Amino acid sequence: KAGVTQTPRYLIKTRGQQVTLSCSPISGHRSVSWYQQTPGQGLQFLFEYFSETQRNKGNFPGRFSGRQFSNSRSEMNVSTLELGDSALYLCASSPGEVETQYFGPGTRLLVL
Amino acid sequence: AQSVAQPEDQVNVAEGNPLTVKCTYSVSGNPYLFWYVQYPNRGLQFLLKYITGDNLVKGSYGFEAEFNKSQTSFHLKKPSALVSDSALYFCAVRDRTAGFQKLVFGTGTRLLVSP
Q: What is the pLDDT of residues B63-87, one digit of tens each?
A: 999 999 999 999 999 999 999 999 9
Residues of B in contact with A103 (CB under 8 A): 36, 43-46
Q: What share of chain B is helix, strand, coil (3-state, %, to 5)?
A: 5, 50, 45
Confidence at residue B99, expressed as pLDDT on a 0 to 100 scale:
62
List the single range of A60-64, A79-83, A104-108, B28-32 with lowest mean pLDDT. B28-32
The yes-or-no verdict on residue A8 having pLDDT over 80 is yes
Confidence at residue B42, expressed as pLDDT on a 0 to 100 scale:
83
Distances (CA, A) of B91 to B8, B29, B64, B96: 12, 18, 13, 16
Residues of B in contact with A100 (CB under 8 A): 34, 46, 49
Among B42, B44, B97, most A C-beta atoms within 10 A, so best to mutate, is: B44
Find all residues with CB under 8 Å of B95, minimum gap 6, and list them.
A45, B1, B2, B102, B103, B104
- Smallest CA–CA separation between B48 and chain A, in Å? 9
Residues of B in contact with A105 (CB under 8 A): 41-43
Q: Are B92 and B85 in contact (CB under 8 A)?
A: no
In angstroms and rounded to an integer, the radius of gyration of the C-alpha atoms of chain A is: 13
The yes-or-no verdict on residue A18 having pLDDT over 70 is yes
Contact between B99 and A92 using a beta-carbon 8 Å cutoff: no
Distances (CA, A) of A50 to A90, B88, B101: 17, 29, 10
Q: Given pLDDT bands bounded at 50, 70 and 90, which one contains residue B37?
A: very high
* pLDDT tens readout for residues B52-65: 888 999 999 999 99
Residues of B in contact with A102 (CB under 8 A): 46
CB-based burial, A12-37: b 16+ in 10 Å, e otherwise: ebeeeeebebebbbbeebbbbbbbbb
* pLDDT tens readout for residues A57-78: 999 999 999 999 999 999 999 9
Give the chain B residue whose CA is nearest to the CA of A49: B101
Of B43, B49, B98, the CB nearest to A100: B49
Confidence at residue B73, expressed as pLDDT on a 0 to 100 scale:
96
The yes-or-no verdict on residue A87 having pLDDT over 90 is yes
Please give the mean pLDDT across all residues of chain B.
93
Average pLDDT over residues A81-85: 97
